[in-house]
Amino acid sequence: MLYIYKDDIIYLATMQINKRLNTKVDVSKKIDISILEKFPELSIGFHDVKCYEPGAGKPVIFASVKNLFITFDIKDVWNGNYIIDKVFLEDGHIHLRTDENGVHNFMILKKDTSTAKSNSDFSISFIQLKNIDFIYDFRPSNHLYQSDIKITEASLVHARNDFTIHVTGDMHTDGIRINENNFLQNKDIKLSSKIRYNTESEVFSITPSTLHINTGAYAVEGLYDIKKSFVDLRFKTDKNDIQSFVSILPKAYAASIQEYKSTGNVYFNGTIKGTASNAHSPSININFGFDHATFYHPGTKQQITDAFLTGTYTNGDQHTLASSSVKLSDLKITIDNKPVSGYFYMNNFEDPHIDTHLKGSVILSKILAFVPKHPFEKASGEIDFDIEFKGRTSDLKTKAGYANIETSGDLALKNIEAKITSYPHTIRIAEAVCLFTKNDISIDNMELSVGKNDVVLNGIFRNLIGKIFFPNQFVYVQADMTMGNIFLEDILMSDTRSNKSSNQEFYMPALKDFILDLNLKANSMNYQKFRASKITSKIEWNFPYLNFTNSNLIFCNGFYSGKTALRILNEKTVEINADARIRAMNIDSLFYVFENFSQNFITNKNLKGDISADVSLLMQVDNHLAILPSSIICDADVTVQNGELNNFETMKRIARFLDTDNLDNIKFSEMRNHFLIFNEEIQIPDMTITSTAGKISFSGKHSFNGNIEYHVAYPIRNLKKEKVDSDAAFGALRADPKGEMKLFLIVQGTTSDFKISYDKKKTGEKIKSDLQKEKQELKNLFKKKEQDQEEIKKTQTQEQEYFDFD
């Protein structure tokens, strides 16, 4: 009988391992030996095993496992042969590394220096890895492979300089990083592979291997020469779906399509061959496509059916981005029984040149169903298209490259109805044809409606193709707009809700990337009480400015002409700068339309006559189109002809000083003056009105809060002498600058509570002096605003130079 002693077996097994290893291994002092643990084989269990990198100056652990079992065939042990049969590794990590010089940290087996030939110097028929965290850091080409091995079986054969490993099992990949891209992140994989590695030539060879990822099966074979950094890899999948394909891509590439599903056949195959290093890239050629495929989005339930595509990708003879190209040919798809066909070719990925042709018909709502985050609340209608494009995308950026672009075709719109989520009005286009020319799209007699507004548009959208490729570019729109009646409230997006504290935003900033040059002609325009007709204007939008120039309209039975600039200060405030000419407007109608300018001291019921004025105005409005009073600055030369002042309470109370009993109706042929509005105050310089009540001299201030200070002077000959107390009026009876004796009165208080008294302090003269000074300050302010706008225009012109097409 042969007696087997535990210490002898452990010693012999350890000697067998050390005979093969050229590195340090630490194990726990607790070592188990059992026949039952891995029956019917004899097993030795090592615990807390640590394996160190060979040749390292400072000990570095590259592998550590909680449990390591090796087994021996009992018959071999009986016969005195201690040959390792199986190895079990449990609960640990293995960190392999190849440094920048191609040196490996895992070459732990001693090289065979014997001259004896053997088909198998060393072999293990069965290796099991369970719950092992595996990392391989291949630094020469910046690759990192990470996986969590659940349970994997392998075999190892070492014949002289060759290692052959056969692996099958399940693992979970944390990811494969190639440079900055991460593939196969958080994926469960079934693997079956046979890999051969020659320690002398340092060549990895992969015999036909398969990987199962989701429902996809991938075949891979080839080799990798470490010394030469040479790869020769072939891969293919004959039957696949979009979900499996997307699962292997980096998140940045997969994000936009990962929710889509597919049926039918999606395939690709290819080769990677050549030197792979930081300085060189291998040749990459891939064929891909699909046939009889269906793609759909589970959230929208929309489908693309009967889909066919043949595609190729190559990085070219130089193996660079500049020599790379992709070709999509024989593209055919069907969306809701509407066919689309075409091709797409792009080469030189550093400066892409594109050649594409797309033709088909689509239902707008069906197309949008494939885009989960589109801006439309609803959309319907049909779009027919036949579009060709040839040219470098970089030529879309410059005027010089514009001549090299070739674009042709047309886009036909039918019964389009669309509503943007943040915009309250539906946009409708009954029928329109858009023609593509180079980088532009022209439209002819497009009839569209926005809310209540009907528009006929003729013009061109310049650089629209460039905008598609480069979202940060500008689109330049030149068009003639013809309208019937303009419902201004719809256009201005005025807030009719009762809650005026809402945070409704302006919508003009949404057009930051658009430059508009429009010629407007309209029959009429309505906004609340405002009614105008025969409207013409040139409209220019270039953020932050919206300019109306050469504007003309008929309003309040008179004429308006001038220019207005709106500047977007922020999402809740717009600054308005206007230079206007008003001729022969009904003053009572003007006061009525503008609701007596938010005061009731003097109203449309008190006034009649025709007003003409030259006005420079600067003010701000909030996001409810309410004027911000503190921002108003106005400089106006005003003339009123055939005027009447009726039932004005102030004049009634002044009547006791005049030689007349009735000031209910004062008529005058003409009144001229220069008005200033500044610091929430209307300032009225001295003026003399010849009226039915005689010559009246008038000046003063009227604050927005209702405080008033008016200075009134009457010639002595117009006074009722018996009503004037000469002693009390001492100082108020004096000559004006022209030498005429007058009685000076002052009206002070508020519009609802004021008193009239003698003006003895000559405060009216000081007001006149102050007004002259403020008038000059305002002129300088308006001039500064114009200069600022010109500077912004110059900057915009430089930034948008490529729009200057001939």
> Is 140 inside any structural domain?
no
DSSP 526-568: EETTEEEEEEEEEEEEETTEEEEEEEEEEETTEEEEEEEEEEE
> What is the DSSP pairing of strand 122-138 with strand 283-296?
unpaired
Q: Determine the Cα–Cα distance for residues 359 and 694; give it in Å rounded to an integer.
A: 82
Cα(269)–Cα(221) distance, rounded to whole angstroms? 12
SS3 594: coil
Q: What is the pLDDT of residue 522?
A: 95
Residues 442 and 581 in one domain: no
Looking at residues 165-170, what average pLDDT do you find? Answer: 86
User: What's the number of CA atoms in the CB half-sphere (13 Å) around residue 642?
Assistant: 7
Q: Is residue 800 one of the residues assigned to a domain?
A: no
Please answer whether residues 732 and 756 qualify as being in contact, where contact means their C-beta atoms are separated by less than 8 angstroms: no
Name which residue leads in pLDDT, 659 or 420. 420
For residue 576, being part of any structural domain is answered with: yes
Q: Could you identify the residue written with the tokens 């004049």?
A: 651
Mean pLDDT, residues 797-801? 52
In the chain, % of residues over pLDDT 90: 17
CA–CA gap between residue 273 and residue 291 (Å, rounded): 28
The pLDDT-based confidence of 428 (bands split at 50, 70, 90) is very high
For the ranges 134-148, 448-462, 489-503, the maximum mean pLDDT occurs at 448-462
Please write the tens of the pLDDT for every residue from 720-779: 555 556 666 677 778 777 777 788 888 899 988 888 888 877 655 555 555 555 666 666
The predicted model gives 91-115 an average pLDDT of: 73
* 446 and 542 assigned to the same domain: no
Q: What is the pLDDT of residues 197-246, one digit of tens each?
A: 887 888 888 888 888 877 778 888 999 887 787 889 898 887 776 666 66
The residues with which 65 forms a beta bridge, in sequence order, are 49, 92
pLDDT at 250 over 70: no
The predicted pLDDT at position 498 comes to 37
Beta-ladder partners of 307: 293
Q: Are residues 671 and 531 in the same domain?
A: yes
**For residue 718, which amino acid is it?**
N
In this prediction, residue 293 carries a pLDDT of: 85
Query: 171-188 pLDDT, tens per residue?
Result: 877 777 666 666 667 778
Note the pLDDT of residue 69. 87
Segment 584-607 mean pLDDT: 85
Residue 159 has pLDDT above 90, yes or no: no
Query: What sections of 335-415 are H helices per DSSP?
Result: 364-368, 399-402
Amino acid at 174: D
More confident residue, 512 or 548: 548
Considering the domain architecture, whether residues 605 and 590 belong to the same structural domain is answered as yes
- Same domain assignment for residues 597 and 680: yes
pLDDT (0 to 100) of residue 120: 47
* pTM beyond 0.85: no
105-137 per-position pLDDT tens digit: 777 666 655 555 444 466 788 888 899 888 888
* Rounded average pLDDT over 20-44: 74
Residue 621 confidence (pLDDT): 86
Dihedral angle, C-alpha 54, 55, 58, 62, nearest 10 °: -20
**Rounded CA separation 616/579 (Å):** 5
Least confident residue range of 155-159, 189-193, 397-401, 423-427: 397-401
Of 30-44, 379-393, 623-637, give the lowest mean pLDDT range: 30-44
The first and second tokens of residue 653, run together, are 């109370």
Least confident of 39-53, 96-110, 570-584, 693-707: 96-110
| Residue range 9-25, pLDDT digits in tens | 555 555 555 556 677 78
Q: Which residue has the higher pLDDT, 168 or 183?
A: 168
> 322 versus 422: which is more confidently predicted?
322
* pLDDT tens-digit readout, 403-417: 788 888 999 999 999
| Pair (384, 518) in one structural domain | yes
pLDDT band at 686 (very low <50, low <70, confident <90, very high): confident
- The whole-angstrom separation of Cα 379 and Cα 484 is 25
pLDDT for 90 equals: 92
Q: What is the DSSP letter of 268?
A: E
Q: What's the pLDDT score for residue 768?
A: 56
Cα–Cα distance for residue pair 484/533, rounded to 1 Å: 10
Q: What percentage of the chain has pLDDT greater than the value 70? A: 77
CA distances from 478 to 359, 428, 440, 442, 773 (A): 27, 21, 11, 9, 44
Do the bridges between strand 733-735 and strand 741-750 make them parallel or antiparallel, or are there none, so unpaired?
antiparallel
| Number of domains composing the chain | 2
Same domain membership, residue 573 and residue 517: no
What is the extent of the structural domain holding 603?
Answer: 526-767
Q: Is the preceding omega at residue 544 within 30 degrees of 0, hence cis?
A: yes
Query: From CA 178, how far away is CA 661, in angstroms rounded?
Result: 100
Q: What is the pLDDT of residues 477-498, one digit of tens each?
A: 999 999 999 887 777 654 443 3
Do 544 and 675 lie in one domain? The reply is yes
Does residue 231 belong to any structural domain of this protein? Answer: no
SS3 track for 254-265: HCCCCCCEEEEE
Give mean pLDDT, residues 338-343.
Answer: 92
pLDDT class for 4, splitting at 50, 70, 90? very low
Residue 554 near residue 533, CB atoms below 8 Å = yes
154: pLDDT strictly greater than 70? yes
Strands 122-138 and 84-98: parallel
- The span from the CA of 268 to the CA of 311, in Å, is 9
Q: Give the angle subtended at the CA of 57 by the CAs of 54 and 60, to the nearest 5°.
A: 60
540 and 467 belong to one structural domain:
no
Answer yes or no: do 604 and 545 share one domain: yes
> If pLDDT is split at 50, 70 and 90, which confidence band does 679 have?
confident
CA distance 62 to 54: 10
**Residues 545, 475 within the same domain:** no
Is 283 inside a domain boundary? Answer: no
Is 673 part of any domain?
Answer: yes
Query: How far is Cα 745 from Cα 762, in angstroms, rounded to an integer?
Result: 10
- Mean pLDDT comparison of 6-15, 59-68, 99-108, highest-scoring range: 59-68
User: Does residue 631 lie within any of the structural domains?
Assistant: yes
Cα-to-chain-centroid distance, residue 679: 40
Query: Residue 341 — pLDDT band, cuts 50, 70, 90?
Result: very high
Q: What is the pLDDT of residue 583?
A: 95
Phi then psi dihedrals of residue 69, to 5 deg: -115, 135
pLDDT at 249 over 90: no
Q: How far is CA 700 from CA 185, 670, 694, 732, 801, in A?
A: 79, 19, 19, 16, 51
Q: In this structure, are 520 and 556 located in the same domain?
A: no
Burial class of residue 703, CB neighbours in 10 A (0-12, 13-18, 19+): middle
User: Does residue 532 fall inside a structural domain?
Assistant: yes
Residue type at 37?
Answer: E
pLDDT score, position 779? 63
φ, ψ of residue 558 in degrees (nearest 5): -130, -165
Compute the radius of gyration of the chain from its Cα atoms: 44
